[in-house]
Amino acid sequence: MTQLLKVVPEPQAILRAWMPFKSAVGVTSVRTDADYLQARATIDVLLDEIRADEDHPLADVLDYLAEQVKRYEDAHFTIPEAEPRVVLSFLMEQHGLKQEDLADCGPQSRISDILNGKRPISKDIAKKLARRFNVHADLFL
């Protein structure tokens, strides 16, 4: 199976593109708490811009930063095994979020019902929460 490769750029060309990107984004790898906070803030801005548009030109940047955050969280945070609503509550606390901050995942009234145990998390909302928190949707089902 032969696959055609794109032309591989010279290191200097990569550097000329990388440095302005790194300067604009503010963080490109998450190694410290400060990097983590900057990356999470940038992810929140990107989520607000991109919404559910997976073809948005910034979706790759979002995915890249989310992967960096995931690696940091995997090394520094433990998500408890618990009911999905408890996991959601835990993640919201860890990220300093309120119900209204999850408007991209579902209406505030639905998030409230979920957190109060009045309704389960739907598959659709679980997918959105998983993307928001960069975890597996199974945590919410």
| Domain spans of the chain, in order of start | 12-77, 80-141
Q: What does R_g of the chain's alpha carbons equal in angstroms?
A: 18
State pTM to two decimals. 0.62
CATH fold of 80-141, please? 434 Repressor (Amino-terminal Domain) (1.10.260)
**pLDDT value at residue 116:** 95
Instruction: Identify the band that residue 2 occupies on the pLDDT scale cut at 50, 70 and 90.
Output: low
H helices within the chain, ranges in order?
11-25, 33-50, 59-76, 84-94, 108-115, 123-133
User: pLDDT by residue (tens digit) across 81-127?
Assistant: 789 999 999 999 988 899 999 999 999 999 999 999 999 999 999 99
17 vs 135 pLDDT, higher one? 17
Q: Tell me how far apart the 2 most distant CA atoms of the chain are, in Å.
A: 57
User: pLDDT by residue (tens digit) across 47-82?
Assistant: 889 887 889 999 999 999 999 998 998 888 876 678
Q: If you average pLDDT over residues 13-39, what whole number do you get? A: 94
